[in-house]
Copies of this chain bind each other. A is one copy, B any other.
Amino acid sequence: MAAAEDSRVLAIASHVVSGYVGNCVTTFVLQVMGLEVSPLNTVQFSNHSGYKQTKGYRTTGAQIKELYEGLKMNGNDDFGMLLTGYIPGAEGVEVVGEIVRNLKERKKVFWLLDPVMGDQGRLYVADDVIPVYKSLLPLADLIVPNQFEAELLSGVKVDSLESLSQALTTLHQTYKVPHVIITSVTFGTSDKKMECAGSTVTSTGSSRKFVVDVSIIDGFFSGTGDMFAALTMARFRAEAEADGLLGTASWMSPDGVDALELPLARAVEKVLGSMHNVLLKTQEVRDRRMATLRAAVPDEALEERARHVRLTKASELRLVQSQRELLDPGDCVKAARLE
């Protein structure tokens, strides 16, 4: 067993009272996987933004800083991992950057940075957040942008396997990040399939790239990016441990390890396996609930807002009901080489 402190994760992300995004996903997923999580909440909202109406408040940059001081004061800052997600505003992202620098100065900490900025062509943070993220990326060990964020950060328009591969290379080279995964990539040619591509650099800076096909499950599910990041944190750590890499900087595999044998590739296969099964269960419950709701009050009898809200609520991730699926990835789709 690893030393206790090495399995402690500082998770900096949002909190919602009802439903599943941010730390409400991360905390449960990591705990079920047996890791100790310290959730530092960057907001407390009533629900996620998928509802299009929410109430609550943000944690200020100064408050985030103070909470971190409190952790240090009692020696509770002995984290082996750091996972960051949604942080509202450039000031908060800057404070998180200071925290990472402070942690990394004192010990080896693995930072999984989910550069939450937007999705599907829409930015949902202020413009001034982008340069701050760009300045912090070189501190990260693994980044997991979605297609939109990867395009923002790399400047590469991702519309084919070739440009997807180019985006990975550019992200490695521009920001010196050892591990990159780009999630939820669609080329507009199919509504049944997405791509998830990843890569670990070698000591000479060349990238070992892989890609995995992901079946699209119809509907809109919030929190899937957070579930992906949390599962990836847990699975990558386990695969890196299996390869004896936890003691090495950034859990880097020796240069001789092939793309498809990378701990990152093996982790992503399992992550996507679990996610697929959680989403199938979520879809099944959603369909059952919607059938009941529509039998009582048909969609046509509702205003658009009410229709949207009830569908969004029925589509909340079924995480509590999916402990088995989180632990057991089932039959996984295998990664393929990406040139």
Contact = CB atoms under 8 A, between A and B. Distances in A.
A74 B320 contact: no
A31 B32 CA distance: 10
Q: Which has the most chain B C-beta neighbours within 10 Å: A55, A56, A57?
A: A55
A147 to B, nearest CB: 28
B313 A74 contact: yes
A56 B67 contact: yes
Nearest to A28: B31
Interface stretch (A40-48, A115-123, A276-284): A40-48
Interface stretch (A12-20, A137-145, A249-257): A12-20
A69 interface: yes
A70 B41 contact: no
B47 A17 contact: no
A170 to B, nearest CB: 35
Contacts of A323: 32
A35 B323 CA distance: 12
A73 interface: yes
A310 B15 CA distance: 29
A51 B47 CA distance: 32
Contacts of A57: 63, 66
Give how many copies assemble into the complex: 2
Given A4-B289, A18-B38, A53 B74 contact: yes
A163 interface: no
A53 B38 contact: no
Interface residues of A, number: 50
Contact of A34 (B10, B45, B321): B321
Given A56-B66, A67-B44, A74 B309 contact: yes
B44 A69 contact: no
Contacts of A63: 44, 56-57
Interface in A89-145: none
A53 B15 CA distance: 24
Interface string A57-79: 10100010011111101111000
A18 B36 CA distance: 9
A56 B38 CA distance: 14
B67 A17 contact: yes
A39 interface: yes
Interface of A: 4, 10, 15, 17-19, 24, 27-28, 31-32, 34-41, 44-47, 51, 53-57, 59, 63, 66-71, 73-76, 289, 309-310, 312-313, 319-321, 323
* 8 interchain residue pairs of minimum CB distance: A46-B70, A55-B70, A18-B76, A18-B38, A17-B40, A17-B38, A51-B74, A55-B66
18 contacts: A15-B15, A17-B40, A17-B70, A18-B74, A18-B76, A19-B76, A32-B323, A34-B320, A36-B320, A37-B320, A40-B44, A41-B41, A41-B44, A44-B44, A46-B67, A47-B74, A55-B73, A57-B66
Given A44-B63, A47-B74, A75-B313, 15 more contacts: A4-B289, A15-B39, A15-B41, A17-B70, A17-B71, A18-B38, A18-B74, A34-B321, A40-B44, A53-B73, A55-B66, A57-B63, A74-B309, A75-B309, A75-B310
